[in-house]
Amino acid sequence: MSARLSRRLRQTEAGDEAGLTPARVSALLNVDRHGSLRLAELAAAEGLNPTMLSRMVADLVEARLLERSSDPDDRRSAWVSATAAGHRLAQQMRRQRTEAVESALAGLRPAERRAIDQALPALETLAELLPAASSPARAAPLERSTETRA
């Protein structure tokens, strides 16, 4: 269910019209959200190897959605940031996603909307724990101080 929801929210009209794949949309939104990022930080955040990320960034730079610059303190490192056009596209995609969610929520019964509202805090916590748990070697133990398992 959550995979289907994620797939449906991943693409937007604006992203489709710009010819962006879901991975490129994700990278652009990530850079726009965080401002300027090192390529290594973006690769880690997106879960991509540096070669794949480099190709994606090159495509986004060519499309004039991102700009890449060298780190003056470390020539081996590079930074990426959203251009004005990239920022506008990111805002448009976020707006389209928000409108899609609001429209879908309007179609739910009040009890279903309340159930979603009540689940949001737990889902936010889960979302924050997932990056650390994505690799078994880096997974942080999850503790429940109020619950014990039998």
Q: Which two tokens stand for residue 89?
A: 């596209």
Topology given in CATH for the domain delimited by 2-133 = Arc Repressor Mutant, subunit A (1.10.10)
User: Taking a C-beta distance cutoff of 8 angstroms, is the pair 53, 41 a contact?
Assistant: no
For the record, the structure tokens of 118 come out as: 């009540």
Over residues 113-122, the pLDDT tens digits come to: 999 999 999 9
- Tens of pLDDT along 3-60? 777 777 777 888 888 889 989 999 999 999 998 999 999 999 898 998 899 999 999 9
pTM of the complete model:
0.75
At 21, which amino acid appears?
A: T
